[in-house]
Amino acid sequence: MVNCCGLVSEKNEPVPLKSISVELQVQDHVASVRSCLQYVNEEERPLEAVFVFPLPADAAVCHFSARIGEQEIRAELQDRQSARDQYDDAVSSGQQAFLLEESEESSDVFRLSVGCLSPGQNASITIVYIIELSVQADHALRFCLPAVLNPRYTPPQNSGASALTTHQIQVNLSSGHRFEKDVELFLYYENSHQPSAAVEAAASAAQSGSLMGNPALMISLYPEFPADVMSSLASQGEFIFVVDRSGSMDCKMHHGNDAQMRIESARDTLLLLLKSLPMGCYFNIYGFGSHFESFFPSSVVYSEDTMEEALKRVKSMSADLGGTEILQPLKHIYSQPCYPDHPRQLFIFTDGEVWNTKEVLDLVKSHVYSHRCFSFGIGEGASTALITGMAREGSGHAQFITGTDRMQPKVMQSLRFALQPAVDNISVDWTVPEGVTVDMLSPPINTLFQGQRALIYAQIKGQSSGQTEGAVTMKYRLNDQPVTNQLQFTLKPTEDTGLTIHRLAARSVIRSLELEERAGRADAENIRRRIVELSVQAGVSSVHTAFIGVNKDSKQTVKGPLLQRRVPVPLCLNPRTLSGRLFQSLGAKCEKALPPLVNFAILSTTKSPEFCDLREQAEPQKDPLLQLVSLQKASGCWELNASLAAVFGKTEDEVTNQKAVDGSVWATVLALIWLYAFKSDQQDEWQFVAMKAASWIRSQKPNGLSQCVCDGNVLLGCQVTEDMLGI
């Protein structure tokens, strides 16, 4: 079956999506997004269509409406089954109806049903959601408009004290933009590490005492890590690398001519990781698809022998394991006993989605006290719910590699996080006037790493007779040292904020309740009722509610049988599993289904199918940096040989004339000089390689080291000092 992007029929014929316009409003650390989608039924018969589309994980959908001609239909949030029943009744009686519901398997996938569009009729659909903006390595806040929704793999046996600051942003994409990658916006704030607090007024019509009927408070905590903490790295741990080897990993990293295949980039990344690990730690590597494989039965001690054995297997890794099933390898990993004094660090790489996201996240969360989970989403279609969820539930850090991003620097940044001290023992205390109380709405925060920020939601109850100021004291430990931040805030709420804070707070509570329900609590039915009640009260989506809109004012009903259409999603096809004739046939159908690009608003885009470029490529030239890294020993040193000389652009005779120090010391000094002189812009990729090398040189206590550095600079034509090399 072919999967394309857009609204299509069971015969793979398109329902034209004429345009998408997106308006973005940023308030402090959160964004409100209004997306308008315009469809037209160009059939000669009435139409029912279904559109499956991605939203960011933990987005809170808070508005859904449709306009047909001059008639606007504003949807109501109701119990999911009740909404479905109303939709079916309306469509069967010929009324126009719209249904928006969240996927039961993953919180970042929504399903929109459009019922009874008459021939030639236009429908404009508006969806509004709010979301917390993620923090990047350079402290920017990132908003991403996803370009594609990758296929959901389903196994055969399953069915599948600062005020709010508002910024208006306008971006116009050029005519003919194909939307082949995500649209990203980055915002930079001054004093980004300064804690902030914002109070939002209650909803005027809400019942006092309810979540919406009292002021809500949002606290931003973004700890700053001093330089001495950043340089403090652990030398122990168990490092387990879990790599997606499904067929889609044979896709390119991006659409440029020089793009690597995803599996190739993963192999290069594993090379860097294996060379960067500290001696004496434990490690293992898993590959997963429809089934999983591990390099070793259990984690092994990192040594020259085990590193070389792992590297040989890395070189032969292919995207040959079928679909994407991550639950079983995780269960196997968690069944293995941990090593005392070696904290378990899990690194997970995937470019897609799984059919049982929530089950995976529950499993990670149940082992949060025995490990940390660092996750990496490769390509535009990686599930944000899966990637950010695993990192959140595993007290780790999530990274996304999109567009022309290189995988290696982001992964090495996470390795630094894994080896660095983290913020823990986090507590929040409130100082408020008599008669006022503050109730926490967010779940407890266990850990924060450098570059991570937490938004904490709370509810303010009661009234003060006089004072209008409150304070929050946040305490935590960093590198075993206590840190205290106190922040003043006004109890006088900010008006006209669109209830953004309240709705994100409600979303946080709903997610916690959904987790309790999935844990199999005895009072699951009561929890479900609480979720529905809070979802309807706050006007934000949940797994147990749906938006339903019916055009009851229509003077005429739609007659005749409806064409039923279901949306497929982009598919990255593996040439190993398809004949050339079949692939060409599927490709032709997808090209036919590409909707036209019509007009633009704030952000105007149209979706296009994502296919891998499967043409044979010439073998790319090996990256000199990776060549150098591949030659390093596990201990951190290099050997003097022709392969190393070739990296420097020299012959073996040219690099063997130095007699002041041992050959391995000389080779290692040359490697360090070359890195600092010629690859300084990629230092975040080779920093651990260099640290191991410098540590090894110091352990040798060589004589004549200064002369060795001078000779190395002369040979390579550089001016690098001993201090720069750290030796």
- Return the half-sphere exposure (C-beta side, CA atoms, 13 A cut-off) of residue 502: 28
Contact between 328 and 291 (Cβ < 8 Å): yes
Range with the poorest average pLDDT among 26-40, 172-186, 354-368 = 172-186
Instruction: Dump pLDDT digits (tens) for 464-486.
Output: 777 788 999 999 988 888 999 88
Choose among 75, 201, 49: nearest CA to 128: 75
pLDDT of residue 437: 92
Instruction: Dump pLDDT digits (tens) for 287-342.
Output: 999 999 999 999 999 999 999 999 999 999 999 998 889 999 999 999 999 998 89
End-to-end Cα, the chain, rounded Å: 60
Contact between 15 and 39 (Cβ < 8 Å): yes
Range with the poorest average pLDDT among 152-156, 194-198, 355-359 = 152-156
Instruction: Dump pLDDT digits (tens) for 33-71.
Output: 998 888 787 778 887 777 777 777 778 899 999 888 778
Q: Give the separation between CA 137 and CA 379, rounded to whole angstroms.
A: 18
- With helix as H, strand as E and coil as C, how does 586-642 read? HHHHHHHCCCCCCCCCCEEECCCCCCCCCCCCCCCCCCHHHHHHHHCCCCCCCCCCH
Name the pTM for this structure.
0.70
Q: Give the separation between CA 521 and CA 128, rounded to whole angstroms.
A: 33
Q: Which alpha helices (DSSP H) does 638-704 contain, by range?
A: 642-647, 652-655, 663-678, 683-700
Range with the poorest average pLDDT among 176-190, 206-220, 605-619 = 605-619
Beta bridge partners of 436: 462
Angle between helices 624-631 and 663-678 (to 10 degrees): 150
pLDDT of residue 495: 66
Range with the poorest average pLDDT among 127-141, 344-358, 413-427, 602-616 = 602-616
More confident call, 445 vs 266: 266
DSSP state letter for 447 = -
Q: Which helix (H) or strand (E) holds 501?
A: helix 500-518
